[in-house]
C-alpha cells in the first residue's frame, strides 16, 4: 500500500507521434475543369443553334419565294383559262346569231356600252373568293346555355 516503500518504476507515458496533417483535398481544380467543360458545351450549343436558325431562315425564304412563284403561275393559268372561256363564249354567241337569219323574231344584238367595256377590262383580274368559314368546334355545336329542354 505504501508506494514509497516498494521499488516502483515510474514510466513516463510515451507521447504518440503527432499524426501528419492530413492534406486537405481541395475540390477547386475539379470544379474549374467542370466549369471549363460546361462553358465549352454551352458555346457549342450556341453555335449549333445559330446554324439551325440560319438554315431555318433560308428555308423559310426559299419556301416563300416558291410559294409566290406558284401563286403567280396559278394566276396566269386562271387568266388564260378565263380569256379562253371568254373567247369561246364570244365566238359561240357570234356563231349562233347568223345561224337563224330567217326568223322574224330576231333579237337585236347588245350594243357595246361603257359597262361592257369595264367588264372586259376586269376580265384579266382574278377575283379572290371569300374566306372559308372555320369548322365548327364542339364548343360551338354544344353549348349548355343555348339548349332548350322541353318535356
Report DSSP letters for 101-135, one per residue.
-S-SSPPPPPPP-HHHHHHHHGGGSPPPPPPPPPP
Classify residue 25: in a domain, yes or no. Answer: no
- Tens digit of each residue's pLDDT (9 = 90 or more) over 96-128: 555 444 544 444 444 444 444 545 555 555 666
Domain that holds residue 84: 62-92
Classify residue 76: in a domain, yes or no. Answer: yes
Classify residue 74: in a domain, yes or no. Answer: yes
Domain count, the chain: 1
Classify residue 72: in a domain, yes or no. Answer: yes
Classify residue 54: in a domain, yes or no. Answer: no
Burial (CB count within 10 angstroms: exposed 0-12, middle 13-18, buried 19+), residue 110: exposed
- Tens digit of each residue's pLDDT (9 = 90 or more) over 19-51: 676 767 788 999 999 999 999 999 999 999 999
> Where does the pLDDT of residue 90 fall: very low under 50, low under 70, confident under 90, or very high at 90 and above?
confident
Q: How far is CA 40 from CA 32, 46, 47, 52, 121, in A?
A: 12, 10, 11, 18, 66
Output the pLDDT for position 88: 87
Classify residue 51: in a domain, yes or no. Answer: no
Amino acid at each position: 500500500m505504501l508506494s514509497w516503500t516498494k521499488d516502483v518504476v515510474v514510466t513516463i507515458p510515451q507521447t504518440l507521434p503527432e499524426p501528419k496533417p492530413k492534406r486537405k483535398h481541395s475540390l477547386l481544380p475539379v470544379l474549374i475543369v467542370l466549369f471549363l467543360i460546361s462553358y465549352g458545351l454551352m458555346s457549342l450549343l450556341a453555335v449549333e443553334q445559330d446554324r439551325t436558325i440560319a438554315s431555318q431562315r433560308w428555308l423559310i425564304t426559299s419556301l416563300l419565294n416558291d410559294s409566290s412563284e406558284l401563286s403567280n403561275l396559278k394566276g396566269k393559268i386562271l387568266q388564260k383559262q378565263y380569256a379562253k372561256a371568254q373567247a369561246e363564249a364570244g365566238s359561240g354567241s357570234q356563231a349562233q346569231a347568223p345561224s337563224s337569219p330567217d326568223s322574224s323574231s330576231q333579237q337585236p344584238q347588245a350594243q357595246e356600252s361603257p359597262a361592257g367595256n369595264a367588264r372586259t377590262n376586269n376580265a384579266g383580274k382574278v377575283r379572290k373568293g371569300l374566306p372559308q368559314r372555320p369548322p365548327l368546334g364542339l364548343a360551338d355545336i354544344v353549348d349548355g346555355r343555348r339548349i332548350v329542354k322541353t318535356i
